[in-house]
Chain A
């Protein structure tokens, strides 16, 4: 993988794809990385991982894409996958209202676990236009709302894309946008945010593990 010598400038970006089960996360990743579409992917357990090199502006970027499991309980395994993520891709299915309704909670999960970073919203499966339940305007409004509520000094905005992994429309654009946003953020904030505390079985008082940097009062341990 590292056989061709690249300049030391090569940036590593970690992107994580989130969204409900069956919205097409795996399809999007495979379409973007290998330009392939299979109508029947296996359900993802834990997370899958692919890499792709691309050029954003004049910079070579190595994109690490994590495709996560959609079932809600798998969120609790997330911390390992979210750690150090630069951006996330929120995916919903335009033919399933519910999957759009859950986008907020996926974003919340990402914010909680990785700190608020850049994300794009993707409405997938636009090839099934006749079964559409979520109008473009609704999703766009939701994004605008997020942008309006974001930090005043935070100038990055959440962009909205509609894609069809089946027909390969909009996929490239969406991933390029998220890569560009993450790259811009990285450039403006060179100091990496320290990852959340890691836990270690060797700690003498496991009950207090991680307690030192716990800023929340909710812990009663």
Chain B
């Protein structure tokens, strides 16, 4: 089902764009093999796997066949992108509901005005992958002047970020990856994904048992896992992807837009094993507050509020659970399209947008923050303030006034990186020290054999071994700070980890398309270099 009636009315003359759009109607490839199931059928098929690991998990020894998934073109029966609050349930906080009522008419008026202004602008302009550079420039100006109108949001995000082109060039990417490689099975990430599926917007009907949200979310998270062997799965991918799925109800679009956010808006190492980039941004944000909001900085010092405790919640899931949904949409407008530079190229990113929003939040609550007596009070204040922040336009205006240039941001990150590296080293050293002491205590004074650096070892908790009635479980792989490895078990039952290179090869199985590798913080020299160069996006030929 084409579920974009609103878009259609806007794209009235856009025959070319609609022809080229990946999403138009059913998936022809799939139709050839099996009839597209109706949503009800899909739910019936999908529901047995919800909450339980894929059936093949127990039969595992040799290269197993990819798990079969019903990749489908079925759509949700409801167009959630047009529903009030995108279908999210009303807040359970009294003051948030009151604020929402207060702002309802204002927001509606803004939206109507915006749509009127847009009617004249984009009529007849081909959008999505067929949008010309001149039109992109034209649309960017309009976006910056008036904001993004609700009915056009999906299409404008895809067009102005260049994601539409990518979808077009990589037809059926998710489907192909899943059919070829299957779901990730039998590792901790597979489990983490499965646990988090149930914990992503649990109140939203799209992710309930009666709709297909969870089912699509699972598909996209597994494809993201295959795409980023060094990030695997990080909590907050679930929220970003799920939010996009609510809007798009389409795996390909949600996947490529997630990729855009992970690859283009945030540094490559943002979500890695050490959350290196996120830690760097914690420091950068502190510094920005110091420079741009000295009063807030003084207040934080006085009451002992650590700004580092705010940024992870805000930035890692890109404000998805921070603001009311209406505001989150406008914040994402800002990050994805409004803050971008005025260039003609499809991709022109603004990597500091998430930090600017954070600054705007602090600015907006500055007066109250300065009156707080202690850190706990400030945390409660900020949580209440952001949850009831319906005046998105004011927030975005404020964010724009804090614009951080690409050069400044790069400079700040460069300054912060050595500090974060040092912090991680110290933590690692303390951990090693601690473990050696523990092991010495447990096994008498005989020091344990020192494992080679190449080979990460598995520490079996000596206490666990001594306790007779529980099975010995390897408690922790000591393999932080390097690329994820694959756990192998020899016939004798010894577990070992493959060195990263080999592991990468195994993890990706018979991957035939190039997978983007991320640089690690322990590549000593990568910090002396200029910005990490992104490989040119390859045109993944999934059929190859």
A: residues with CB less than 8 A from B are 1-2, 12, 21-22, 40-43, 45-49, 51, 62, 64, 69-71, 73-74, 76-77, 79-81, 83-84, 97-98, 100-102, 104-105, 108, 111-113, 134-135, 137-138, 141-142, 145, 149, 199, 201-203, 206-211, 214, 216-221
| Residue in contact with B430 in the complex, picked from A2, A74, A83, A112, CB distance below 8 Å | A112
Whether B418 pairs with A138 at a CB distance below 8 angstroms is: no
Q: Which residues of A contact B13 (CB under 8 A)?
A: none
Question: Are A207 and B239 in contact (CB-based, < 8 A)?
Answer: no
13 of the cross-chain contacts (CB-CB < 8 Å) are A2-B373, A42-B321, A47-B312, A47-B313, A49-B309, A71-B235, A76-B274, A80-B308, A97-B471, A100-B470, A112-B427, A145-B463, A216-B426
Contact A45 B423 (CB under 8 A): no
Q: Which residues of B contact A102 (CB under 8 A)?
A: 475-476
B377 on the A face (CB < 8 A): yes
Please give me the residue from chain A that is nearest to B201 by CB atom.
A42
B residues with a Cβ closer than 8 A to A are 192, 195-196, 198-203, 234-236, 238-239, 271-275, 278-279, 282-284, 286-287, 290, 304, 306, 308-309, 311-313, 316-317, 321, 373-377, 379-381, 383, 412, 415-416, 418-419, 421-435, 438, 441, 461, 463-464, 466-467, 469-471, 473-476, 480
The listed residue (A49, A105, A138, A207) touching B470 by CB distance below 8 A is A138
* B418 contacts A73, C-beta separation under 8 Å: no
Q: Are B473 and A97 in contact (CB under 8 A)?
A: yes
When distances are taken between beta carbons in the complex, the residues of chain A under 8 Å from B238 are 43
Expressed in whole angstroms, the Cα–Cα distance for A199 and B283 within the complex equals 8
Q: Distance (Å) between the CB of B7 and the closest chain A CB?
A: 30
Partner of B200, one of A12, A42, A108: A42
Asked if B282 contacts A80 (CB within 8 A), the reply is yes
Closest Cβ of chain A to B370, distance in Å, is 14
A sample of 17 more A-B contacts (CB under 8 A), given A41-B199, A206-B419, is A1-B376, A43-B195, A43-B200, A43-B238, A45-B313, A47-B309, A64-B375, A69-B235, A74-B235, A74-B275, A76-B427, A84-B304, A104-B464, A104-B475, A108-B431, A137-B469, A210-B426
| Contact for A49 among B192, B379, B432, B474, CB less than 8 A | B379
Contact B316 A46 (CB under 8 A): yes
A149–B432 Cα distance when bound, in Å, is 18
List the 10 closest A-B pairs by CB distance, nearest first: A218-B429, A46-B312, A40-B202, A80-B308, A216-B429, A46-B313, A101-B473, A43-B199, A201-B287, A22-B195
With A77-B278, A97-B471 as contacts: A45 and B239 at CB distance below 8 Å? yes
- The interface residues of chain B lying within 8 Å CB-to-CB of A62 are 376
Taking chain B's interface residues, is the majority helix, strand, or loop, or is none over half, making it mixed?
A: helix
Which of B203, B279, B283 contacts A40, CB < 8 Å?
Answer: B203
B467 contacts A138, C-beta separation under 8 Å: yes
Would B312 and A45 count as touching, CB distance under 8 A? yes
Residue of A nearest to B198 (CB): A40
Chain A residue numbers with a CB within 8 Å of B321 are 42, 45
A137 neighbours in B (Cβ, 8 Å): 469
Given A102-B476, A104-B463, A134-B470, A199–B192 Cβ distance below 8 Å? Answer: no
Q: Are A218 and B279 in contact (CB under 8 A)?
A: no
Q: Do B422 and A207 touch (CB < 8 A)? A: yes
B235-A43 in contact (CB<8A): yes
Q: What is the CA–CA distance of A219 and B422 in the complex, to the nearest angstrom? A: 8
**Given A45-B235, A79-B427, A216–B433 Cβ distance below 8 Å?**
yes
Q: By the criterion CB–CB under 8 Å, are A71 and B412 in contact?
A: no
- Contacts A42-B202, A104-B461, A218-B432: A83 and B274 contacting too (C-beta < 8 A)? no
Residues of chain B lying within 8 A (CB to CB) of residue A2? 373-374, 377
Query: Are B419 and A142 closer than 8 Å at their CB atoms?
Result: no
Contact of A42 among B199, B419, B427 (CB under 8 A): B199
Give the residue among A62, A76, A81, A102 with the most B Cβ atoms within 10 A. A76
Given A112-B431, A201-B286, A206-B415, A219 and B425 touching (CB < 8 A)? yes
Residue from B273, B279, B434, B467 within 8 A of A108 (CB atoms): B434
